[in-house]
Structure 1
C-alpha cells in the first residue's frame, strides 16, 4: 500500500507541477501578443531599422547620381558636345 501511495503522490506532484508550468508559459505568451506589447516591439524595431534604411537610401542616391554623371559623360563623348553639367546656366 505504501508503494501505491508513494507513486500516487509522485504522479500528483508531477501533474500539478507541469500544469502550473504550462499555465505560466501560456500567460507569458499571451502577454507578448497583447496589442500594446506588439506596438512597442514594432516601434522599437522601426527605430532600430530607420537609420539603416536612411543610410541605404542616401548611398543609393549617391550611386545613382554618380552613374548618371558617367552616362552623361559617355553620351557627350560620343556626340562630341560638352557634358551636361558644363552646359547648364544658373
Structure 2
C-alpha cells in the first residue's frame, strides 16, 4: 500500500507539471482565428481532463493512506490478541 501511495503521489505531481506546461504553451496567435480557437478548445479539454485525473489520484492517495493506517491498527490488534492467547491471558 505504501508503494501505491507513493505512485499516486508521483502521478499527481506529474499531472500538476503537465497542467503547468499546458498553460505555458497555449495558442498565441497562430495566424488563423479558427486554428487559435481549435487550440484553445483542445487545451481546455486537456486541462479539464488532467485536472480531473489529478483530483481522482489525490483522493485515491488519501483513501489508500487511510486504509493503510487502519490495516496497521487491525494487524497490531491481531498480534496483541495472539500474544494473549499464547500466554493464556485470554481465558483467565
Instruction: Give the structure-2-normalised TM-score.
Output: 0.41
Instruction: Give the structure-1-normalised TM-score.
Output: 0.41
